Amino acid sequence: MAKKDPVTIKKYANRRLYNTGTSTYVTLEDLASMVKAGDDFLVYDAKTGDDITRSVLTQIIFEQENKDGQNLLPVSFLRQLIRFYGDSMQLLVPRYLELSIDTLSREQDKLRNQLSSALGVNPLVAPFEQHIRRNMDLFEKAFAMFSPFARREDGEPVTDAKPAGENPVPAPVAAPAAGDLDELKSQLAAMQKKIDSLSRK
C-alpha cells in the first residue's frame, strides 16, 4: 500500500490553522490527534510559505505537557537537553534521540506486556533501563566509527600504523559495558572534553 503524501496545513497571521485536505480550520489538539493516528502533515506559514512544522510540533508538545497527568519529559531531561544547545555534542544528540524513540516505538507492545506482567522488579523501571542500555550501546558504537578516540580492548588507541612486514587484522573496538544513567553522563562528558580539546588545537 502506497504511503499517503503529508497533508498540508497552513498557518495564518491570526494563528488559525487550515487543513487543506479537509478544507476546515483545525486546532493544535486536532493536529495532536492526527499525529497519534499516524497521519503525517506539514505546516506552512500562509504568508511566507516557510515550513514551520517543527515549531508547530513543539507547540503541540508544550500543550500536552501542560495538561494534568500528561507530562512525559522529566525536568532533568529538559535541563540536560538545553545544555546541549550550542555544545560540541549538539550534532550527535538528534540522531541519538531518533534512535532511542524509534526503538521505543518498535518495542512498545513488548514493553506494555513487561509493564503488566513483570514480577519481583519495579515494572516501571526495568524495561526502560534495558532500553536505555541498548540504545547507549548503539550510540557509542556509532560514535566509535568516526571518533578519533576509539580504543582497542587492551586500552591502546586504534591507529593505522602497521609493523614492518606485517599485515595485522585491525583490533575490534570494545563493546561498551552496560551502565546506568550516571555512567552515561560521565561518558558523554568525557567525549565532550575530547572533542573540545581537538577544537582548541
Phi and psi dihedrals of 177, rounded to 5?
A: -75, 145
Whether residues 98 and 52 share a domain: the answer is no
Q: Give residue 70's pLDDT.
A: 78
What domain range is 82 assigned to?
75-156+172-200
Whether residues 102 and 127 share a domain: the answer is yes
Phi and psi dihedrals of 189, rounded to 5?
A: -65, -40
- 120 has a pLDDT exceeding 80: no
Whether residues 110 and 185 share a domain: the answer is yes
Is 165 a member of any domain? no
**Spatial distance between the Cα atoms of 17 and 57, rounded to a whole number of angstroms:** 13
Q: Give residue 33's pLDDT.
A: 95
Mean pLDDT of 130-142: 61
Task: State how many domains the chain has.
Answer: 2
Query: Mean pLDDT in the chain?
Result: 74
Structure-derived torsion over alpha carbons of residues 63, 69, 70, 76, reported in degrees to the nearest 10: 100
Whether residues 96 and 11 share a domain: the answer is no
Whether residues 43 and 109 share a domain: the answer is no
pLDDT in tens, 12-52: 988 899 999 999 999 999 999 999 999 999 999 999 999 99
Between the alpha carbon of residue 15 and those of residues 8, 20, 54, the distances in Å are 15, 15, 15
Is 163 a member of any domain? no
Q: Give residue 90's pLDDT.
A: 87
Is 98 a member of any domain? yes
Whether residues 59 and 79 share a domain: the answer is no
Task: Give me 87's grid cell.
Answer: 555544545
pLDDT in tens, 164-173: 454 555 444 4
pLDDT in tens, 90-119: 888 888 888 888 888 888 777 777 766 654
Q: Which residue has the cell 503525517?
A: 40
